[in-house]
Chains A and B, each alone.
Chain A
């Protein structure tokens, strides 16, 4: 079974530029998460999708961050414009719903963003 795929793995941009990250979850996983992990901290949930609907985006800075999950599969997370404090690793995770071990999350390798 293929794992959660993310791209790019690394990205360096200047402040005020825009950037987009892509995530492909494990096949059949209905729930998809985007987390922000700042160096030295635990992951913080940004947005949670179930199929193509948003379940929770309460911690997403909506003035600059947006996310979508078209057709309930792949997802993109966009930042526009980026700030220095957005430097972090952006982790995508997925989990099945309603099936065996539906409560477990499977994490992708992450995208390390550096904003200069």
Chain B
């Protein structure tokens, strides 16, 4: 059974700092997704990583995928308060079936 783990679970960081969120998964998969969820809101798609070595960037966020290591990272550059949210990775298990990670709750302090 595919398991998806994220760390850290909670992250409190100062504005302007850099940090990385890690997503590890237990069995082979070639597709990985990152989502953002604001409190009381639904999930917003951030990145879709479709192959080994894929790298996507949007603003201060950059995601990468290493399928051999079964690892994806979400790197935050020069954090701002607006990035405060919970971030989930999800891994495709079987055809169009997605297993979500535990989530990383990010708080950016002014």
Q: Which residues of A contact B (CB under 8 A)?
A: 31, 33, 40-45, 48, 50, 55-56, 91, 93, 95, 97, 101-110
Count of B interface residues, CB-CB < 8 Å: 23
Greatest chain A CB density within 10 A among B33, B99, B100 is at B100
Q: Which residues of B contact A (CB under 8 A)?
A: 4, 31, 33, 41-45, 48, 50, 88, 90, 92, 94-103
Q: How far is the CA of A56 from the CA of B95 in the complex (A)?
A: 10
| B88 contacts across to A, CB distance below 8 A | 42-43
Contacts between the two chains (Cβ within 8 Å), count: 53
Among A40, A43, A97, A102, contact of B43 (Cβ-Cβ < 8 Å): A43
Q: How far is the CA of A106 from the CA of B101 in the complex (A)?
A: 17
| A-B CB contact pairs (8 Å), 21 listed | A40-B103, A42-B100, A42-B101, A43-B100, A45-B97, A45-B98, A45-B99, A48-B97, A55-B96, A56-B94, A95-B96, A103-B31, A103-B48, A103-B50, A103-B92, A104-B33, A105-B33, A105-B45, A105-B98, A109-B41, A110-B42
